[in-house]
Structure 1
């Protein structure tokens, strides 16, 4: 089956609307539904999955299942149609040209569209009139430049081989309509599941996401984030949002067979989160640049890919 990726606007056709086609036709979003179906039929598909009208949002159980399964829906699709309503290919603009309209498309700025870019095996980008702009493959260099996602990802690379910090950085500048979705839209990218609780706020949702991640991963780059410059108070080891990983695109796990690795000071890489906090063992060194003798550098099991420097946090 094909699947549609798009940015939501006013008058989207809902699951309830689509039960009565005459009601659906009165919505502004119906033209998009019709266009997607027409494009799918052109290539002999009988079905297409569209999130706006294929999820019954009035059922909390169905909504929770859909949010937790969304990455899988896109991964299992035969092809993903990316509909860019703010792009007009008839202008003849080269998408590779500097400051092209493609670079400014809001589709690249939304939270949910990140997994819709990464999960499918085949992605085609379409303009407002359903004219093909290109595929993820032949535009991979442009998409990499726009998203700061390594081009290797679009050349068949396994996203789970990239560190947690790197994957978080891909979402650092993306926005969602509902604050909690900044965390929920990342579940598939980290291979975790959790119930959505709208109303809990973005910080609680992101904390729960991190707690789920550390249950299945010993990647300590999850602690390799940078607080906003205006913050000066003490913080815990966990980030408050993906935006705090904005400078972590080059953070990789330390190569385990490196005999000079600081991580060899600590053979136990596992850590856990319990009701009394985080349990973790980190190699410590005195901080020579800090006035207080009680402040140490705690080294994480990761380093910068650019300068090979080991990363640490203050404790």
Structure 2
């Protein structure tokens, strides 16, 4: 893992886990960012005035907090190495979690108010709509927000109510009171439903840490990346809410797996109604698709139609509604 020495602005290499405390930057990319290659010569890096000034401002703040090192995604990863890029993406959630704190730079937020006083303006910030910043918000215990002029806006903990309104993420998760494993898969997916990434594959890769899975990066595979993500999740879960997504009404015949996080829009109120660690049914990925061993409820009025309980529910207008999917028996021909 590479870190920027905040005093010298030079990159230094550390073995993982990093033995020295460090801060970490979360931001949205703006134009021509300083790269790993640029940082080999600081004179070259400084020519990218706007993006290098972002690194300098970050380092000043870090030094003011008594830390000497900071990680910045644009220049601490050698993206010309596919192996290094894959390792970094699979490790990123852990790197953010292990940071002493995260600086969240909202480059398009110029309001003089803090997040609590300007939540409507904050909602329009790109930072709250990008795929990668989801894990960067969730993973660190401490997140400090700064506006376009690097003025302090507040913390994740202190602004949890406003951030929950903007993102849909439970305050318990934002305050580190609730473990991610206690949140249904459907609800976690819903947090990414309206977020975007530049590359289609990154919409899956940016969620690896949120679901505690790893997988190889295969840029060029397109939407298949999100299918692979769901398959990896199913290999280690007992949470059937992953099947609680909803296709649009005009959707054609579709897979049991969702096409994208967008199909989990509206799943933010889904909770588990069983102890998933005592769930004994089997879920596996086979050459024919997803295989599940679980009891089915026969629908008396419909021959060959069964109801599969997904062991999750949502509250609608005070009404407890169990969620499941209908299955139709296909006779062998």
When the two structures are superposed, what TM-score results if normalisation uses the length of structure 1? Answer: 0.90
Deviates more, 1:168-177 or 1:22-31: 22-31
- Aligned residue number for residue 295 of structure 1: 305
Larger strand proportion, structure 1 or 2? 2
Maintained 8 Å contact 1:304/1:311 = yes
Offset, 1:276 = 2.2
Maintained 8 Å contact 2:119/2:162 = no
Aligned equivalents of 2:128, 2:44: Cα separation in 1: 31
Maintained 8 Å contact 1:84/1:107 = yes
Alignment of 1:69-80 (within 5 A): 69-80=91-102
Maintained 8 Å contact 1:211/1:273 = yes
* Residues 1:288 and 1:99: Cα distance change in structure 2 (over 3 Å): farther
Aligned equivalents of 1:73, 1:178: Cα separation in 2: 22
Offset, 1:119 = 0.3
Offset, 1:283 = 3.4
CA RMSD of aligned residues (A): 1.9
Maintained 8 Å contact 2:282/2:294 = no
- Aligned residue number for residue 269 of structure 1: 281
- Aligned residue number for residue 157 of structure 2: 137
Tell me the secondary structure at the aligned position of residue 280 of structure 1: strand
Maintained 8 Å contact 1:84/1:125 = yes
- Aligned residue number for residue 32 of structure 1: 54
Q: Does 1:2 align with 2:23?
A: yes
Ranges in structure 1 where 5+ consecutive residues have no aligned partner: 258-263
Q: Does 1:154 align with 2:149?
A: no
Offset, 1:228 = 1.8
Aligned equivalents of 2:43, 2:114: Cα separation in 1: 39
- Aligned residue number for residue 280 of structure 1: 292
Aligned length: 301
- Aligned residue number for residue 259 of structure 2: 240
Aligned equivalents of 1:4, 1:94: Cα separation in 2: 19
Alignment of 1:1-315 (within 5 A): 1-27=22-48, 28-90=50-112, 93=113, 95-97=115-117, 100-156=120-176, 157-201=178-222, 203-231=223-251, 233-256=252-275, 268-287=280-299, 293-306=303-316, 307-315=319-327
Aligned equivalents of 1:68, 1:188: Cα separation in 2: 7
Ranges in structure 2 where 5+ consecutive residues have no aligned partner: 1-21, 328-333
Offset, 1:295 = 3.4
Tell me the secondary structure at the aligned position of residue 29 of structure 1: helix
Tell me the secondary structure at the aligned position of residue 308 of structure 1: strand
Offset, 1:234 = 2.2
Offset, 1:199 = 0.4
* Residues 1:20 and 1:299: Cα distance change in structure 2 (over 3 Å): same
Aligned equivalents of 2:174, 2:67: Cα separation in 1: 25
Offset, 1:94 = 5.2
* Residues 1:7 and 1:53: Cα distance change in structure 2 (over 3 Å): same
Q: Which runs of 4+ in 1 moved over 4 A?
A: 286-289
Aligned equivalents of 1:172, 1:49: Cα separation in 2: 28
* Residues 1:211 and 1:177: Cα distance change in structure 2 (over 3 Å): same
1:266-287 per-position Cα deviation (integer Å, ceiling 9, x unaligned): x742211111221113433345
Aligned equivalents of 2:167, 2:306: Cα separation in 1: 35
Tell me the secondary structure at the aligned position of residue 69 of structure 2: coil
